Structure 1
Amino acid sequence: MSTIAEMELPAQEFALRTTLEHVPDAEFDVVRVAAHDSKHVLPYIWATADDFEELDDALRDDPSVDDLSLLEDLGDERLYRMNWVDQIRVVIHILIEEEATILNLRGKESRWRLRILFPNRDALSTTYEFCEESGLSLDVRNIYEMSDTRHGLFGLTEEQHETLMMALESGYYDVPRDATADDLADSLHISHQAISERLRRGHRSLVKNALAVGPGDGRD
């Protein structure tokens, strides 16, 4: 069964270490990453910073970066393409050795958070062992087992998935609403407080795992 793991690494043990040291307010959100061989990783990265000139200088001087290209400049954030050529052992292992998929990868302050879809639980265990043997401080924060449905992809429990789908199908999210929280509670034979908590936790999981995965996002 496929397994999703949320993991953290110290910034000094990963790519862009020197950039984060010199531009501590910078934040990186990797939207796509591929490894074509054992020496290069090609990420597309959205970045924010108070001073983009300072960020560009730091990226050009970063020993883990090669072939830096600015693809989009939206004023308050920029999209870069680059090669990572140093401190990428764990990414190479995940993508090539374990044939896993990086769902989210975000760097902020002194940490990187990775959200990985592994083909099975053994691949996660092997990755953890690889990091221990390589002297990398991998911290596994959460583990989700995929089920026959897709709700595990977003960290939802079965009850949260059932409640959110019922809310959608009954018109709870319509404007104006065709169903209230009390209607959902009656259908599921639970209290108003219980339905409210399920909805809040389900919404939090969706936002956290689909939109805002990164170090310090949400509370574990």
Structure 2
Amino acid sequence: MIVVEVRMESPILQESLAHAPEMIINYEEMYQTGNEILFLFWTTEGDLAAFEDGLDADPTVANPTQLAETQTRRLYRVTFTKYGKSVATYPAWPELDMSLLDATTATTHGGWILRIQMSNRETLQQFQEICAENGIDIFLKTVHKVRENTTEADTQLTSSQREALLTARELGYFQVPRRVPLATVADHCGISSQALSERLRRGTATVIDTAL
């Protein structure tokens, strides 16, 4: 079993992001019902009104619906259009026995950063071939072999949650008394204190759910 991280230049939601360039999208869930592909995602850090204008004009998605809202982010559900489905690799994932662990929009080069669990490098090659057939450029960033003693929490944590938890631990945020404040850990992670707080809470909840 391996976990790979790739940058994929998929057009999904790129028109929406063009209206709100500072927006960050984080994957929540994707599933297929009948012939429809539904995508749930969180948005943060950008102009939500401009982003919603972009959703209405985006050729890859339809029927945008806001499902939840916090002080810093919103949860949306969209349905892939005919064009969106034509560039989506998701329908092939069950056949390849692939699991999406994390997906977020790439802030520097555009497209998406995906972290995927799959059986082996042969599966990775098949996935790359499917991307090529769909006209999607994909760039391999890292490949990690899953250790036999890897816990369920290790694979269910997103890369950003794992980074936040490890950084907080290394800096002494969890020590009693604390060696550093939340703001110091946030600076090391390059995010706001509020974003780090949410990331730590979600990561801790994942560890508790899988361990206990």
Measured against the shorter chain, the TM-score band is 0.5 to 0.7
Cα deviation for residue 80 of structure 1 reads 0.7
Aligned match of 2:3: 4
Cα deviation for residue 20 of structure 1 reads 1.6
Query: In the alignment, is residue 33 of structure 1 matched against residue 34 of structure 2?
Result: no
Cα deviation for residue 36 of structure 1 reads 3.7
- CA deviations on 1:110-153 (whole Å, 9 max, x unpaired) are 22101111133321111012223333210010001112111674
Counterpart-to-counterpart distance in 1, 2:76 and 2:138: 26
Q: Match of 2:97, SS?
A: coil
Counterpart-to-counterpart distance in 1, 2:40 and 2:17: 17
Query: In the alignment, is residue 139 of structure 1 matched against residue 139 of structure 2?
Result: yes
Where does 1:16-31 land on structure 2 (aligned, <5 Å)? 16-31=13-28
Cα deviation for residue 97 of structure 1 reads 2.9
Q: What are structure 1's unaligned runs of at least 5 residues?
A: 157-163, 178-202, 205-210, 213-220
Superposition misfits of 4+ residues, deviation over 6 angstroms: none
Query: In the alignment, is residue 73 of structure 1 matched against residue 73 of structure 2?
Result: no
Q: 1:58 to 1:155 in 2, by over 3 A?
A: closer
Counterpart-to-counterpart distance in 2, 1:57 and 1:134: 27
Counterpart-to-counterpart distance in 1, 2:71 and 2:158: 33
Contact preservation (8 Å) 2:20, 2:48:
no
- Cα RMSD after superposing both structures: 3.3
Q: 1:123 to 1:81 in 2, by over 3 A?
A: same
Which letter does structure 2 place at the counterpart of 1:7?
Answer: V
Cα deviation for residue 26 of structure 1 reads 1.5
Aligned pair count? 165
Contact preservation (8 Å) 1:30, 1:104:
yes
Which letter does structure 1 place at the counterpart of 2:38?
Answer: L
Counterpart-to-counterpart distance in 1, 2:136 and 2:115: 17
Aligned match of 2:97: 99
Counterpart-to-counterpart distance in 2, 1:104 and 1:40: 21
Q: What are structure 2's unaligned runs of at least 5 residues?
A: 160-165, 179-187, 190-198, 201-212
Larger radius of gyration: 1
Q: 1:176 to 1:20 in 2, by over 3 A?
A: closer
Normalized against structure 1, the TM-score is what?
0.63
Cα deviation for residue 176 of structure 1 reads 5.0
Where does 1:123-134 land on structure 2 (aligned, <5 Å)? 123-134=123-134
Contact preservation (8 Å) 2:17, 2:51:
no
Counterpart-to-counterpart distance in 2, 1:155 and 1:56: 26
Q: 1:56 to 1:120 in 2, by over 3 A?
A: same
Which letter does structure 2 place at the counterpart of 1:175?
Answer: V
Where does 1:32-71 land on structure 2 (aligned, <5 Å)? 32-36=29-33, 40-71=36-67
Q: Match of 2:54, SS?
A: helix
Q: 1:32 to 1:155 in 2, by over 3 A?
A: closer
- CA deviations on 1:61-119 (whole Å, 9 max, x unpaired) are 2121122110112243111111123154222223x331311100111442210111113
Counterpart-to-counterpart distance in 2, 1:41 and 1:56: 20
Which letter does structure 2 place at the counterpart of 1:78?
Answer: R
